[in-house]
Structures are given as structure tokens and as C-alpha cells.
Structure 1
Amino acid sequence: MAATAHYVTHDVSADPFGERSSRHLSVHKQLLGGRFRFESTSDELLDLVEAAYGGLPPQHLPIAAPDFRIELRLVPGRLLPNVIEPPPVQMQSGAGLLCGVMDASNYVVVMPAQQRALVVASEDMLGFPYHLRYELIEFAVFILATRGLGLVPLHSACVGREGRGVLLLGASGAGKSTLGLHSLLHGLEFLSEDAVLVHSETLLATGVANYVHVKADALRLIDDEAAHSWICQAPVICRRSGVQKFEADLRLGHGRLAAAPLKLVGAVFVSAESAEHFEELLTPVPKDEIAARLHADQPYAAGQPGWLSFQQKMVRMGAYELRRGAHPKASVDALQRLLDRLDSL
């Protein structure tokens, strides 16, 4: 981890709010079209930044890249004893602030107008690195990028080829992660598993391709021995829903990560419904239904600036529904054929 140290004095009586620290480290990352500076006195917290964003391809957008600053503060507060997981994050807003609060010692405060955020975590929270990274640190990064760059935030996966991308939409459990994984293993570029930010005017999509999450029962569908071993050796995390998944690091060389934002050329609604025949896998969504389906699939994004422009462009472009085949490879083949068709237009 490359970090720069800055030293200042700290006097509790002169600094009751802890605004100054005796040892300040900073790490810089190019993410989601913005430049991020992470600052902390804690090596452990900056290690989590590296775990989340180290080794990723830089993502640049054709707009001015703001400088975002995130302060990470480790405090001695404790979680409740014998907790299996931290309290769920409660969202709050007011006075130009966006907040995610677990408890008095674990929270994130985002100031979009100032392009800054504060993440506070207790020492005990270090025992829950997935929740700390995913629910507090990544929360700050995605909110700052979304608001600071005017991007449309989608709960979606995205894969593509030669700079062109397809959104994978659908409810949790529909199979977006599985389809994204098999797309990666069969030659498509991987942009993101579950969070895609889109510039509504250019339809350039950016994301963070750090991890893919795989259920144990999905391993039987992975034929490649090296990929199977890669996932089996990954740590297991537990979602808030109680579902356990392998968290496999995408930066270990299995497949290609998108080196730059992908230009969206289509959207696919992934369905848990099975198709009996290959020709029934991928079917067009009627034009007059696309806007309503997008709105229903993305209720948060639908209330954000840029949504109307994004929605109109996606309706003109067209959308498809993808049912499950006998093997995920059949679904990837359907996506490949869709990209072939869209490339010829």
C-alpha cells in the first residue's frame, strides 16, 4: 500500500473534537471517474481501502474529475458483546448531509457539496471487515461519485466486449452474479457485479470490479478447474439476508476486467424462469413496457437527476429478457449473440 505520512501535534484540551491527529496517512485512488484521497491514522482502515480498490483499472470519464476526500477514523468504541454481525445501517439525511449509521461508534457522513466524507469505525468493527468495507467505506465512495459526477446509480451488473457493455438487471436472486461470473469465465469483459454508475448523456458505465460473490451450490456449474479452485479458496461472507457466499477477488487474473468505462448498447432483465429451448432464452421486451420495467427495477435511481435522459436513451436502444438455460454457458452464448447483433447495427 503506497501511503504518504503527515505529522501534526495533538493536544486533547485544544482539540476536543479530534480534528487533528499525530500521524496522518493518505492513499490516492482513481475510481468511478473521480480522484479519491483516503486519509487516516489507522493502517488497518487504509488496508481495507487497499483490499477494496487496490490493483483496479483506473476508470476515467470524459468530464472533469473532481477530487474527493474521505477521512477514515478508528475509535475505541465497542460493539455489543457476542454479536454475530454489526447492527444494520440506518439511513439519515439533513442539512446537506447523507448518513449511514450502525451505532454511535460506527457510521458514515457524506457531504456531497464539499466532496468529502467521514467514516468512523470502532476497533471491534475491524473484526467485521466485509461490513466495514462494503457498508461504510464503499457507501462513501459510491455516494460521492454519484453526486459529485452527476451519475445515475444502478443496482445492476455489467459485462461487455471491446468497449461496449450490456446492463444485467433483475431482482436479487435472479442470477445476475452467476451470469456475470460465467460471462467473465467465457471471455467477456467484467465491469461490475452489483453497482453500476452511468453518465446519462454519453451512456458510459463505470463500476468497481473488485469481487464477485458466488453461492456454494453454484460451484457445480463451473467446469474450469482453476476457476473452481480460485472460488473455493476465497473467504466466505454472510449477507444481511443470511445467505452465505464466497467472495472471490476478481483481480487474481481469472478473466478480463473492463479497463475503461463501457458504452452501453443494451439492457437485459435477468429472469429466474427457465427456458426449454435456446431460442426462448433471450426475447425482446416490448418498447412500450421498457420504461415501466426500468422504473420498477431501479426505484432509487428513478428519483435521481439524469434518470429521465438515461431512461429515454435506454428505451430507444431496446431491452431484452433473459431466461435461464440448462447451463449458464447457454445464457452467456445468448449475450454474445446479442452483442454480435448490436455490433452490426
Structure 2
Amino acid sequence: MTISHGAQHEDADPFRERSGPVSSVRRQILGGDFRFDSASAALLGVVETAYAGLPSHRLPAAAPTFRIELRLLPRRAPSPGDEPPPVRMQSGAGLLCGVMDTSNYVVLAPAQRQALVVASEDMLDRPYHLRYELVEFAVFTLATRGLGLVPLHGACVGRQGRGVLLLGASGSGKSTLALHSLLHGLDFLAEDAVFVQPEGLLATGVANYLHVQADALGRVDDRAARHWLDRSPRIRRRSGVEKFEADLRLGPGRLAATPLELAGAVFVSAEAAADADALLSPVRAGEVAARLRAGQSYAMAQPGWDRFERQLIRRGVHELRRGGHVRDAVAALHGLLDGSR
């Protein structure tokens, strides 16, 4: 029987523990010190594309180190469809897993602050899914568990160290409001995922990309900003909705240089305000907790949720209805941050 050198290698290293020379990239993300190790320059390039040029947010406590190993597998046979299978979650023995298929998955050991991200070469042709569903999944999950953060589906903008949390159902206009807040002088913290330290309501995020639908272009008056959005690549969400993926590091406005202390939260509504001069209205005390928890099922299961919820309610929660132009809503946010309401 003839055994090829490749077969000998697989028998000697069935778990691929010897992957060859490894390089590293280190980034300060969400208050943690992340080290990415890989023998693949292409995968480290994905990390750089995601996190290079971002403000290095630091939280009051010392930044722990998280280690993420990235491993590239050979290209698979072409699979049907335009997108990879959705990630399925699993856990056991202190490990968390997110699995697309046998060649694309994430294994996390939160107690050890480590993760393994495995991707096939063909995923390099799908950079949005590779970054968002594998690499960022590992970063966000390790940071949430290792730093005790509350992970929220929402956006956040602010100024002078204070921020306002933008919440609301999909399609309510959070991303569009975040975009116009950026264009009208507010600091941009995050558009899709916000991570809050419950003790001091310090919010952090990853301000790398903004996702808006094409109809948002018609409401952007600045020609340079429209050009920035229009030349951005388009991605397709799992829901089927197409959006521009605009790199915030290449666009106008300011990214929040430090975590923002939340001054309160706003539920963004798609409904028009009855009074164009009164877009903001306080949410009734008896409704606040239920509305905060709606759409935040994962966040409310985290250990810091109760402290976060109590403190945010004390700071103030409002509903923001639409005015004649989105800049009217931005002016209302300025008012909240100024403490005038």
C-alpha cells in the first residue's frame, strides 16, 4: 500500500496543531486587549479591515487580554445559493460554538478568554459574512463575557463624553438617525451593537461600518456624504434587505474617541409626531422596563441587566417620533445631551 506524504502528515497531526509560522495582530476593542494569531495573512487582513483605524476605547478597569486564533481551510466545492448557511449556536463543557458548516465555525472558551475561528478559503469571497458572523461574533462574545458588558441591539451617538442610546424595532430608522447625527456634529459610537458597562453606564462599540438602505441617500443634503455612501459596497442581510456598507473611517464626521456615559435612551418611532416642535415624549414609568426588554432577549439574560435597567430608567427614557426632516430628530437628541429635557 502506498501512503502519500499528505496522508502521513494528516496521520501525524490529525488535529492540525502544527499550522506553520504564525503572525499576530493586536487591537484595543470594546475595552479589551485582543490578540489575533494566524498563519493566514488573508485572515489577518480581515481583522485589519475590521478594526484598523478605530479609536482605542478603554474602560475604568484594567484591560484583560483576549486571544483569538484564526485558521484557514482549503476552498470547498461551490455551494448553492448566494450566501453561506446561517450560524447555529451550541454550548457545553464551558465552550460556546457558532457553526455555519464543517469548514466554517467558531469555538469559544470564555473562562480562558480564548476563541478559535475556522474559515474556508471561499469565505474570503464573502467578506461581510466572514467578518460579521465569525470574527465579530468571537470578539463580541468574548468581550461581553470577559468584561461583564450588556450587549444591546441598538445605536449610540453623543458628544463631550455623553451619549444617548437609540433603540427601536427594525425599520424604525435607527441607522438613518445615527447617520444624520454623524453628519450634524454628534460623535458616532455604534450603529448596530452597543456594549454597556452596567456600573457606570459607559457605552462602547465598534464604529467600523454603517448600514443604511438606498433610500437614505435622498435625505442626505451634503454632496460629499452622498458620494461616500453611494460608492460604498452593498451587502445583503439575512433578512434579504440590501444595504450600503459604508466605512465610517473613510467618511465625514467624528467617531467617539472614548466610551460615552449614557445620558438616557430613546425609542425611535416610525410614526410622525402630532406636534412638529415636540418630537420627544417621556415613556411612562410603568412601560419603560417592558419596552427596554422588547427585542433584547439575549441582553436581559446577562448578569448585569438588572443594574443596567435600573440606572438607565433613572437617567430617562423617551420616545422620538418623526418630524418634517431627520435633522429635526437630531436637534432633539442635541437637546437631550444638553440636559434641556
Return the TM-score normalized by structure 2.
0.95
In the comparison of the two structures, how many residue pairs are matched? Answer: 334
CA apart distance, 1:146: 0.4
Among candidates 237, 262, 270, match of residue 239 of structure 1: 237
**Is contact 1:166–1:264 with CA below 8 Å preserved after alignment?**
yes
**Corresponding letter in the other structure for 2:260:** L
Return the alpha-carbon distance in structure 2 between the equivalents of residues 14 and 276 of structure 1.
72
Match of 2:71 in 1: 73
Match of 1:41 in 2: 39
Match of 1:4 in 2: none
Return the alpha-carbon distance in structure 2 between the equivalents of residues 67 and 243 of structure 1.
36
SS of equivalent residue, structure 2 residue 307:
helix
Match of 2:329 in 1: 331
CA apart distance, 1:83: 2.5
Return the alpha-carbon distance in structure 2 between the equivalents of residues 253 and 226 of structure 1.
9
CA apart distance, 1:262: 0.2
Match of 1:315 in 2: 313
**Corresponding letter in the other structure for 2:331:** D
Unaligned runs of 5+ in 1: 1-9
**Is contact 1:39–1:70 with CA below 8 Å preserved after alignment?**
yes
CA apart distance, 1:108: 0.7
**Is contact 1:37–1:69 with CA below 8 Å preserved after alignment?**
yes
CA apart distance, 1:279: 2.9
Among candidates 151, 154, 166, match of residue 168 of structure 1: 166
For residues 3-18 of structure 1, what are the structure 2 equivalents within 5 Å? Answer: 12-18=10-16
Find out whether 1:159 has 2:157 as its counterpart.
Answer: yes
SS of equivalent residue, structure 1 residue 121:
strand
SS of equivalent residue, structure 2 residue 130:
helix
Instruction: Map Cα deviations across residues 60-101 of structure 1 (whole Å, 9 max, x no partner).
Output: 000121110001110015165342111111111111111111
Match of 1:251 in 2: 249
CA apart distance, 1:280: 3.5
CA apart distance, 1:34: 0.3
SS of equivalent residue, structure 1 residue 254:
coil
Match of 1:111 in 2: 109
Instruction: Map Cα deviations across residues 22-44 of structure 1 (whole Å, 9 max, x no partner).
Output: 22111000000000000111111
Match of 2:4 in 1: none
Among candidates 83, 86, 107, match of residue 84 of structure 2: 86
Match of 1:150 in 2: 148
**Corresponding letter in the other structure for 2:154:** S
SS of equivalent residue, structure 1 residue 138:
helix
Bigger shift: residues 297-306 or 146-155: 297-306
Return the alpha-carbon distance in structure 2 between the equivalents of residues 20 and 272 of structure 1.
54
Superposed CA RMSD: 1.4
Return the alpha-carbon distance in structure 1 between the equivalents of residues 200 and 102 of structure 2.
41
Unaligned runs of 5+ in 2: 1-7
* Large movers: runs of 4+ above 6 Å: none
**Corresponding letter in the other structure for 1:57:** P
SS of equivalent residue, structure 2 residue 277:
helix
**Corresponding letter in the other structure for 1:235:** P
**Is contact 1:169–1:297 with CA below 8 Å preserved after alignment?**
no
CA apart distance, 1:275: 1.7
Return the alpha-carbon distance in structure 1 between the equivalents of residues 104 and 77 of structure 2.
9
Match of 2:5 in 1: none
